[in-house]
Structures are given as structure tokens and as C-alpha cells.
């Protein structure tokens, strides 16, 4: 932890900065997985809305 002291003697603690890295573009199989999860989420939301309309 990085600590400094100002003129009046107060301590200031600073968190350690995380190591930075660049994001990588998703591979083809990751893109397909995202598409599958998106389709499943859309199906779940549409089913929930359809059930809500059917019940009301």
C-alpha cells in the first residue's frame, strides 16, 4: 500500500493500482457462444412476457 504524509502529519493511504492490459477481440468460438447466450436470454425474456400477458 502506498502511504504519504502531508504537512499536518495526516497519513493518506492509496490503493495499489492494478496492472493494465489491453482487451483482445473475442475469437470466433467465443462470438458464437455470446450469440447462443443472447438467443437463450431473448427466449427467456419473451417467454416471461408471454406468460405475464397470458395470466393477466
Q: What is the pLDDT of residue 34?
A: 97
pTM confidence score: 0.58
pLDDT at 1 over 70: no
Q: How many Å separate Cα 49 from the centre of its chain?
A: 25
Q: What is the pLDDT of residue 35?
A: 98
Mean per-residue pLDDT, 38-55: 98
DSSP label of 8: T
Transcribe 25-42 into DSSP letters: PPPHHHHHHHHHHHHHHH
18-36 residue pLDDT tens = 889 999 999 999 999 999 9
Q: Which residues pair with 4 in a beta bridge?
A: 12
pLDDT at 2 over 80: no
Helix (H, G, I), strand (E, B) or coil at 1: coil
HSE, side-chain direction, 13 A CA sphere, residue 28? 0
Amino acid at each position: 500500500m502506498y502511504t504519504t504524509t502531508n504537512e499536518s502529519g495526516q497519513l493518506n493511504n492509496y490503493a495499489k493500482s492494478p496492472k493494465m492490459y489491453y482487451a483482445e477481440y473475442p475469437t470466433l468460438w467465443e462470438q458464437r457462444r455470446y450469440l447462443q447466450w443472447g438467443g437463450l436470454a431473448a427466449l427467456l425474456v419473451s417467454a416471461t412476457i408471454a406468460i405475464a400477458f397470458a395470466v393477466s
